Chains A and B, each alone.
Chain A
Amino acid sequence: GAVVSQHPSWVICKSGTSVKIECRSLDFQATTMFWYRQFPKQSLMLMATSNEGSKATYEQGVEKDKFLINHASLTLSTLTVTSAHPEDSSFYICSARTISSYNEQFFGPGTRLTVL
């Protein structure tokens, strides 16, 4: 149980294009989803927290117009990197928690984005 998937697992795009990454909770309802960014050989940095049906809360320094987050249902959250640039290349990981698992986040396998 508590499986989180991400799609795509990797994506390569040209500079200036937008890329959408999906995060799905497969066997539970995720009231809250989190988006992290991980640079090579570095730790995870929380980008934003999204609750189903409401606007995402972004961490300080994260551009909300650059990284659009939508959490339209209890099983799906999307992160759209708009007008991507090479510096946006990174590993993006989502996690999700249920209303009852306040102390545990279930992580997706990550999406590697490379912007050329």
Chain B
Amino acid sequence: AQSVTQLGSHVSVSEGALVLLRCNYSSSVPPYLFWYVQYPNQGLQLLLKYTSAATLVKGINGFEAEFKKSETSFHLTKPSAHMSDAAEYFCAVRIYNTDKLIFGTGTRLQVFP
């Protein structure tokens, strides 16, 4: 079965600091992986996705993620945090041969001035 695990339910950074949100996956087949952001009381917005092309994926709002097969990881990073980045971030994997997504438990990012 495929799954994703997000380490750290809460991450706090100062404005301007590096953002690192961790996601590890479990999959016996090449996974399709996604990062979504959710602002309070809103739906999800796609930040970026990995679909077996380039291992370093650039997304919106300055975020990027690197697919590392050896580490079964797909961590999300941003060089310099902005106050507007404060939100809930979800990692997700697409179930093989379907269009269904399984989401991680989410990481709440707080950005302090």
Contact = CB atoms under 8 A, between A and B. Distances in A.
Pair from one complex: yes
A93 interface: yes
Interface of B: 32, 36, 41-46, 49, 51, 90, 94, 99-106
A4 interface: yes
B49 A103 contact: yes
Interface residues of A, number: 25
A46 B43 contact: no
Given A42-B105, A44-B90, A95-B43, 17 more contacts: A42-B106, A43-B103, A43-B104, A43-B105, A44-B44, A44-B103, A46-B100, A46-B102, A49-B99, A95-B44, A97-B99, A103-B32, A104-B46, A105-B99, A107-B44, A110-B41, A110-B42
Interface of A: 4, 6, 32, 34, 41-46, 49, 91, 93, 95, 97, 102-110, 112
Contact of B43 (A42, A49, A103, A108): A108
Contacts of B36: 107
A109 B43 contact: yes
Contacts of B51: 103
Q: Which of B36, B43, B104, B106 has the most CB of A within 10 A?
A: B43
**Top 7 closest A-B pairs, CB basis?**
A107-B43, A107-B44, A109-B43, A43-B103, A44-B103, A43-B105, A110-B43
